[in-house]
Chain A
Amino acid sequence: EPEVTQTPSHQVTQMGQEVILRCVPISNHLYFYWYRQILGQKVEFLVSFYNNEISEKSEIFDDQFSVERPDGSNFTLKIRSTKLEDSAMYFCASKGSFQETQYFGPGTRLLVL
């Protein structure tokens, strides 16, 4: 069964550094999403992406964040200058056309020191 994959599974970075989290959505999906989950809290929507542009973003998704689909398979989330409060699990999800279910990847655990 096709699945969403994410790399790396864990990332440790210093405050102020840039990080890029990578996702490979399910191959025929056209809608892509990033969510984050701070430890012990609920999953929060960050951004959705369709047709090579952002279709919606939350208040969390400020100028420090950006997303890109650099090629036909990858979908990336960049955090330009990480802060301690960016430490969280980041989930990528994808959805096909005429489908309503978003399928999640295994997540990247980001720790900012």
Chain B
Amino acid sequence: AQTVTQSQPEMSVQEAETVTLSCTYDTSESDYYLFWYKQPPSRQMILVIRQEAYKQQNATENRFSVNFQKAAKSFSLKISDSQLGDAAMYFCAYRSSMIGGGADGLTFGKGTHLIIQP
């Protein structure tokens, strides 16, 4: 079974600074998808960014980018120019590319609580 590990329970960053959230995962598969979801205090899960394992290029979405290291099974999220609205729990998630056979659901890490200091 796949596992996702987020080793930072909490991170703090000054507004306008850059912060990196770490995520590692364990899998024997070669093709899969990785996600970062944001969960603000409202507790809704919001997709931040997605990475396909077969793509070597790191995904970017405006101020959010990832550092995907497939060999190291590492998938960190970088937030540039941090804003107060970025304060939330951030969850890293894994999904196999296989259809069915236990592959459908997302496997989440325990999350990192990001605090933005004004």
Residues of A within 8 A of B (CB): 31, 33, 35, 37, 41-48, 50, 55-56, 58, 89, 91, 93, 100-107, 109
In the bound complex, residues from chain B placing their C-beta under 8 Å from that of A58 are 105
* B35 CB-CB contact with A under 8 Å: yes
Which one of B43-51, B62-70, B75-83 is at the interface? B43-51
* B91 CB-CB contact with A under 8 Å: yes
The secondary-structure label for the interface of chain A is strand
Within the complex, what minimum Cβ distance (angstroms) separates A10 from chain B? 11
Contact B91 A42 (CB under 8 A): yes
In the bound complex, residues from chain A placing their C-beta under 8 Å from that of B45 are 43, 91, 93, 104, 107
Q: How far is the CA of A56 from the CA of B111 in the complex (A)?
A: 24
Contact B108 A56 (CB under 8 A): no
Contact A56 B100 (CB under 8 A): yes
Q: Do A102 and B42 form a contact, CB below 8 Å, given A42-B91, A42-B111?
A: no
**B interface, size bucket:** 20 to 34
* B24 CB-CB contact with A under 8 Å: no
Q: How far is the CA of A110 from the CA of B50 in the complex (A)?
A: 29
Q: How far is the CA of A76 from the CA of B105 in the complex (A)?
A: 17
Contact A42 B105 (CB under 8 A): no
